[in-house]
């Protein structure tokens, strides 16, 4: 086995591993939305490796069956990868997150990846024969040229969504509303950022006609596909380990002794009194330990009351009071002279981005839209 064959087999092995771990991720619990999104991400990264090996092994030859397989399977779905990453980050940081119809609009640019497949199917059906696609070689030439220049918007899409995902995660961490698994997600985004840079280094000479052929003759696609195979191994194994850790934590949490309903009800009244009378939520640094110190209640009892009696979490409980405070203050005459950031800070929000996200999550509208509708028109 020569070096090239070994590298192609290595890429194929990464794709096979991605198919296996993707299946495990897709069926794992808890946080099924996040797990399924991560599984699809792994599958999307794995598909090009199978496609590359198929060409190397001369599987996609001039035969109807192989042509149909090549045309029917979307081997390259980079335009879907960026939105999937962004939605995955949201699903991890917001365990109750559900993909909305508006979120699905992120996937409209996937048409860029699907278009050459439609051309292939039309050619196989004979609808394009006798046109500019006079034979199969003309179709292959078109596909190669199309994919070469489509790689630029693909890279831009991936780079943008990786940046957007990192920005969103930082806003969650700044607002202390992120789930415990965000440490893993931070490393996930860093790994993707490294891949984006590697791809860019390869993409620049690849897009230049004078350097395209020498680049592919000397290096082929190994500088991009080998990092992709590494990414598949790392995401699949580390992501699944993270799910196992989360599952263990959930089970351990479920084994904690339950408090009697009367104690939970009394604790809930104490917490609500502290919010309504002492207005502790106005403190942007308020956390569970600080609330426990202010109320004299054990932190575990507070958590149990929020989870078992109020069906809430600490961040959700506090932020709901902050949002209600904003809705009151925005009606005051002096609110017209304050910015949204100023109003948010006065209500206890430490981050403008976190305030925007949480307010819309709770009310269904943006703070700006609410402020505009709440204030009387002149």
Question: What per-residue confidence (pLDDT) applies to 371?
Answer: 83
Question: What per-residue confidence (pLDDT) applies to 98?
Answer: 77
C-beta of residue 302 within 8 angstroms of C-beta of residue 291: yes
Question: What per-residue confidence (pLDDT) applies to 30?
Answer: 62
Residue 302, both tokens: 């507070």
In terms of C-beta distances under 8 Å and separation of at least 24 residues, what long-range contacts does 217-222 make, across chains too? 220/4, 221/52, 222/7
CA 136 to mean position of chain CA atoms: 38
The whole-angstrom separation of Cα 249 and Cα 25 is: 18
149: CB partners within 8 A, 6+ apart: 207
Q: Which domains does the chain show, CATH number per domain?
A: 3-253 (1.20.1070), 261-374 (1.10.10.60)
pLDDT lower than 70: segments of the chain: 30-31, 95-96, 129-130, 174-182, 244-258, 375-378
64 burial level (CB within 10 Å; 0-12, 13-18, 19+): exposed
Question: What per-residue confidence (pLDDT) applies to 378?
Answer: 47
Question: What per-residue confidence (pLDDT) applies to 373?
Answer: 82
88: CB partners within 8 A, 6+ apart: 34, 37, 38, 41, 165
The whole-angstrom separation of Cα 295 and Cα 290 is: 9
CA 296 to mean position of chain CA atoms: 39
For 349, list phi and psi in degrees, rounded to 5.
Answer: -80, 130
C-beta of residue 103 within 8 angstroms of C-beta of residue 187: no
Q: What is the pLDDT of residues 137-196, one digit of tens each?
A: 888 889 999 999 999 999 999 999 999 999 998 887 765 544 555 688 899 999 999 999
Question: What per-residue confidence (pLDDT) applies to 375?
Answer: 65
The whole-angstrom separation of Cα 357 and Cα 161 is: 17
Of 26, 24, 20, 18, the C-alpha closest to 43 is 18
pTM of the entire predicted model: 0.69
Question: What per-residue confidence (pLDDT) applies to 96?
Answer: 62
The whole-angstrom separation of Cα 244 and Cα 242 is: 5
Query: Can you spell out the DSSP letters for 14-36?
Result: HHHHHHHHHHHHHT--SSHHHHH
């Amino acid at each position: 086995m020569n070096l090239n064959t070994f590298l192609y087999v290595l890429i194929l092995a990464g794709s096979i591993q991605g198919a296996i771990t993707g299946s495990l991720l897709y069926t794992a619990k808890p946080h099924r939305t996040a797990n399924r999104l991560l599984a699809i991400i792994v599958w999307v990264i794995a598909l090009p490796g199978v496609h590359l090996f198929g060409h190397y092994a001369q599987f996609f030859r001039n035969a109807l069956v192989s042509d149909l397989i090549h045309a029917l399977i979307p081997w390259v779905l980079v335009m879907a990868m960026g939105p999937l990453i962004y939605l995955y980050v949201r699903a991890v940081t917001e365990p109750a997150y559900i993909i909305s119809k508006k979120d699905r609009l992120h996937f409209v640019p996937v048409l860029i990846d699907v278009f050459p497949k439609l051309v292939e199917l039309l050619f196989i059906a004979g609808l394009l024969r006798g046109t500019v696609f006079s034979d199969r070689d003309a179709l292959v030439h078109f596909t190669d040229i199309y994919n070469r220049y489509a790689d630029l918007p693909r890279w831009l899409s991936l780079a943008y969504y990786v940046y957007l995902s990192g920005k969103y995660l930082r806003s969650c961490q700044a607002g202390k509303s992120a789930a415990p698994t965000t440490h893993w997600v931070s490393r996930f985004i860093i790994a993707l950022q490294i891949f984006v840079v590697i791809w860019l280094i390869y993409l620049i000479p690849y897009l230049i006609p004078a350097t395209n052929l020498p680049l592919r003759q000397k290096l082929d696609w190994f500088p991009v596909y080998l990092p992709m195979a590494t990414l598949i191994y790392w995401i699949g194994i580390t992501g699944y380990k993270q799910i196992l850790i989360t599952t263990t934590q959930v089970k351990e949490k479920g084994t904690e002794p339950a408090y009697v309903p009367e104690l939970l009800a009394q604790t809930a009244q104490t917490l609500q009194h502290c919010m309504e009378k002492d207005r502790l939520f106005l403190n942007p640094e308020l956390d569970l330990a600080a609330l426990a110190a202010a109320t004299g209640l054990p932190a575990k009892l507070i958590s149990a009351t929020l989870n078992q009696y109020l069906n809430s979490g600490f961040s959700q409980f506090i932020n709901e009071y902050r949002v209600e405070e904003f809705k009151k203050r925005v009606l005051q005459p002096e609110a017209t002279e304050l910015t949204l950031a100023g109003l948010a800070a006065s209500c206890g929000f430490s981050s403008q981005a976190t305030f925007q996200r949480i307010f819309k999550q709770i009310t269904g509208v943006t703070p700006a839209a609410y402020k505009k509708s709440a204030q009387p028109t002149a």
